[in-house]
Amino acid sequence: MKRANTVLAAVVSVLLIGGMVSCRSTYESGFVNQAVKPVDLAKIKYRTLKSGAVGESYGFKFLWIPFHSPSEANAKSDMLDQLKKEGISTTGKNIAFTNATADRGGFGFIGLIGTPTITLTADVVEILGEAQPVSHQN
């Protein structure tokens, strides 16, 4: 009987530790893939509206069943809402995102309950037009 309790305690410990440690998988972000690359910024005129803008989206899981999943669209909307709250208007402007990152994270407890999150970070720029070609004189 004592051995069974020891084995049960070991199994429960492994499950608790395994449930608290999150497994990372590669995450392909459409937001990051569509962001303006630094090489392309050199070809256009722009002005920075906000450096390091952040947007988040939260989800909810119970017993491994997702009741609400986080999305990049909601995180991007949150980012634009934060800009409005800071007094930065994007209405009628040709805006783009650069230096973009997307992170998945959240909290989970043995699969019983979880709050997955997506956090987007980017510099928000207003595109003003094409840059003038540089002439090289010898």
The string of pLDDT tens digits covering residues 62-90 is 988 889 999 999 999 999 999 999 999 88
The model's confidence at residue 19, banded by pLDDT at 50, 70 and 90, is very low
Domain map (residue ranges) of the chain: 24-130
pLDDT at 25 over 80: no
Assess contact for 111 and 34: CB atoms under 8 A.
no
* Structure confidence by residue, pLDDT tens digits, 103-130: 999 888 887 899 999 999 999 999 987 7
Instruction: Give the residue-averaged pLDDT of 7-32.
Output: 58
Closest CA to 60 of 15, 112, 121: 112
